[in-house]
Chains A and B, each alone.
Chain A
Amino acid sequence: MALDFHELKKGGFIKQQGRDLFLMRLRAIGGHLTSRDLENIARIAAKYGRGEVHLTTRQGVEIPGVRLEQYQELIAEVKALNLLPGACGPRVRSIVACPGKEICPNGVIDTRAIAGELDRAFFGRDIPVKFKMAVAGCYNACTKPMENDVGLQGVVYPELVAGRCSLCGLCQSICPGGAIKIMNDRVSMDRKKCHGDGACIASCPNNAWVTATTGFVVYVGGKMGRNPQLGYKMFEFVPENDVVPLINSIIVVYEEKRKGQERLADVIRRLGPEVFRELIPYSGREEVAAGGGN
Chain B
Amino acid sequence: MDSRDELAARLDACQKCNMCTAQCPVAKVNPRFIGPKGLGPDMERFRRGQINLDETMLDDCSNCKTCELTCPSGVKITEMILGARRAASKARHKNTMGLRLGLRGYILGRNEYLGKLGVIWPTLTNQVLKIKLVRLALDKTLSISKNGPLPAYGKPLKIQPDKVGIGTNTNKQVVYFPGCYTRFNEGDTGRILIRLLEHLGYKTTVPDFHCCGLPLEANGQFGKADKNGRYNLELMRPYLEAGIPVITSCTSCGLTLKEDYPKLETSSAQLIGAQAYDLFEFLWQLHEKGELPLDFQEVRASYGYHPPCHLKAQGIGTPALRILGLIPGVKIRNLDAGCCGLSGSYGFKAEKYKKAMKIGSSLFEAINVGSQHGDFQSMTTECGVCKVQIVHGTGIPTEHPVHILAKAYRLID
A and B pair up: no
